Copies of this chain bind each other. A is one copy, B any other.
Amino acid sequence: MLHLHFKLFLTAKNFDVYANVNYLYRTLSSSNPIGSDERTPMPSYQAPVKDTLFILNDVLGYERYNNLSGFSDATPDIVEAILVEGSKLAEEVLLPLNQVGDQEGCVRHDDGTVTTPKGFKEAYNKYREGGWMGLSADPEYGGQGLPLVLHTAIGEYLGASNMALMMYPGLTQGAIAAIAEHGSDEQKAKWLPNMIEGSWTGTMNLTEPHCGTDLGLLRTKAVPHDDGSYKISGQKIFISAGEHDMSDNIIHLVIARIEGAPEGVNGISLFIVPKLSVNDDNSVAGPNGVSCGSIEEKMGIHGNATCVMNYDEATGFLIGEANKGLNAMFVMMNEARLGVGLQGLCQSEIAGQNAANYARERIQGRALTGAKEPEKKADPIIVHPDVRRTLMTIKSFNEASRALLLWTALNSDLKHRADSEEDREAADDVLGLMTPILKGVLTDRGFDNAVAAQQMYGGHGYIEEWGMSQFVRDARIAMIYEGANGIQALDLVGRKLGANGGRAVMAYFKEVGDFCEENRDDEKMAPYTKSLKKGLNDLQASTMWFMQNGMSNPDNAGAGSTDYMHLFGVVALGYMWARMAKVAQKKLGNGGDDADYLENKLVTARFFFERIMPETALRRQRIEVGSESTMALDAAAF
């Protein structure tokens, strides 16, 4: 731990330079109602450290796992210290660059090099020097070996404050995971240390112009070379962080078809293809036939370079077995999907925080129940129930999503670190089941929430200067990449439900059902468990309906898949709310000094169960309608 502490301390010193830039405007203008002067406040962000700790310590009982590797190093004190350090990096280093990144974007030069927005490289260096890239990576290759759940908690802060910048390390994490799980020992020793240290970054190269979802159509080819390596040729598109100026090398993980491989997805192999060749001593040699052909003009995440990558007989190294590339790719992809689900929460959180600030400061109109601040010309708009409804909707989503993400990340830890095979299997089941839900539901709702938060600002929300548009535009991509959300719904319904005879979903239903049962006689829990039980019933009935009607006509499953994913998502978030309510009540019963915080949790839980959970009945009704009217028209009739 000494190593980690030292690094964090070093990082903390560097913060001084950046400190408080972000809060300057807000403080300056706080005595005036927003808009009454010429200054536009920059968006602000405060990492929800207290909320993270409540979830880790009180809801998930993080300390229970202190017998497991990595967990034992992260005592509650250490966890809190690391969260606080992470929050500083987010608030003081990354946030001030978020709007800069959007406005400046990336620039590709004629020689194919790409410059990232001003300050990005320096901020990334701080991230790297702080040891954040390797926080939960294998100590054998230079990582800190701490739990993924901690990495995820901090990932929220960093992603909320600067989504585009954090995609550079984010994609590196996916590449690290794929090499760590499917690479040979030799490959791990060669590639991982520099990636975990952060001096090399990574990418995922899947999509081609004619193939996104359907990877079986891919054309990039790999020709075996005498020395065991391959020559990779082809074009990849939409490659996030494909080329940039922030690291010494870029390690592309590329799927391609080895000459003569079977057609379709059974002929896909995964390769390590470095931007620059690497000598035996790991020093960087010359170019490797990899070039960025262009970068895309996009709706958002302007600070991240989305590249067309051209491979011209680039030397690549096969990871795992030939033609079995899909398995290794899915390691990377599943890692990325959790990260994208997290982005949904991130944008919802920062947009929601700013909307709440604005609603507290912007004065306009009077409360329906009579003036609340009669000495002013108008009341702050937070007095209006429709504004409250919006803020509560966002808040009730964010807090449950945070719990759901951390619970899932904890299960990812348990999958790798639990003592018994049984525990590891159960954790893996949770992880597999929750991945499409987190990716699909959190990004759909996260985007909706960013839009709703933007709406609070009226016309100011539409003006780029205020920053709310950026949250919406950035959040939009999360619904698309790493498998569009319609694909997540199909993954859930078509793959995850039936896997191992439905073991994962049955175990989940039992867990939620048991929770409701155990709390049946607890009157204080009734407002939550009754509604949760109803939602669970709708979910179980819908699942049953798929069993009965999806086999005979798969279109019935397809037509209901998105509704099912969201139905599952609402129940999963509701289950987190019920658990949080239980803990809050217990702690309130014990007395203590956090009564306001805990009471607020109970109010927010009630709002969720009253307003959001009833959606399950609608989703179920749509599912049970089946596919007939959905599929009836000729394609030409649209």
CB within 8 Å of B: which residues of A?
33, 35-36, 207, 209-214, 216-217, 237-238, 296-300, 352, 356, 359-360, 364-365, 368-369, 377-378, 380, 382, 384-392, 395, 447, 451, 454-455, 458-459, 461-465, 469, 472-473, 476-477, 479-481, 484-486, 489-490, 553-555, 557-559, 561-562, 596, 600, 603-604, 606-607, 610-611, 614-615, 617-618, 621-622, 625, 627, 629-633, 635-638
Least CB separation from A296: chain B residue: B463
- A477-B557 Cα distance, complex, nearest whole Å: 36
Q: Is the interface of A mostly helix, strand, loop or mixed?
A: helix
Least CB separation from A615: chain B residue: B618
Residues in chain B near residue A380, CB distance under 8 A: 635
* Inter-subunit contact A625/B638 (CB<8 Å): no
* Inter-subunit contact A36/B562 (CB<8 Å): no
Smallest beta-carbon distance A583→chain B, Å:
18
How many copies are assembled? 2
- CB pairs A–B below 8 angstroms (29 shown): A33-B210, A35-B209, A35-B210, A36-B209, A211-B364, A212-B459, A217-B377, A297-B463, A297-B465, A298-B463, A298-B469, A299-B472, A356-B638, A368-B554, A368-B555, A369-B554, A385-B561, A386-B486, A386-B558, A386-B561, A386-B562, A391-B638, A455-B486, A458-B480, A603-B629, A603-B632, A606-B629, A610-B629, A614-B622
* Inter-subunit contact A629/B392 (CB<8 Å): yes
* Inter-subunit contact A638/B359 (CB<8 Å): yes
Contact A210 to B36, CB < 8 A, known contacts A477-B462, A635-B360: yes
Residues in chain B near residue A447, CB distance under 8 A: 451
- A101-B477 Cα distance, complex, nearest whole Å: 23
Smallest beta-carbon distance A215→chain B, Å:
10
- A454-B630 Cα distance, complex, nearest whole Å: 19
* Inter-subunit contact A395/B638 (CB<8 Å): yes
Residues in chain B near residue A395, CB distance under 8 A: 638
* Inter-subunit contact B480/A637 (CB<8 Å): no
- A636-B521 Cα distance, complex, nearest whole Å: 34
Residues in chain B near residue A490, CB distance under 8 A: 386
Residues in chain B near residue A469, CB distance under 8 A: 298-299
Partner of A385, one of B211, B485, B559: B559
* Inter-subunit contact A600/B637 (CB<8 Å): yes
Partner of A386, one of B387, B472, B559: B559
- A454-B299 Cα distance, complex, nearest whole Å: 11
- A459-B602 Cα distance, complex, nearest whole Å: 40
* Inter-subunit contact B369/A464 (CB<8 Å): no
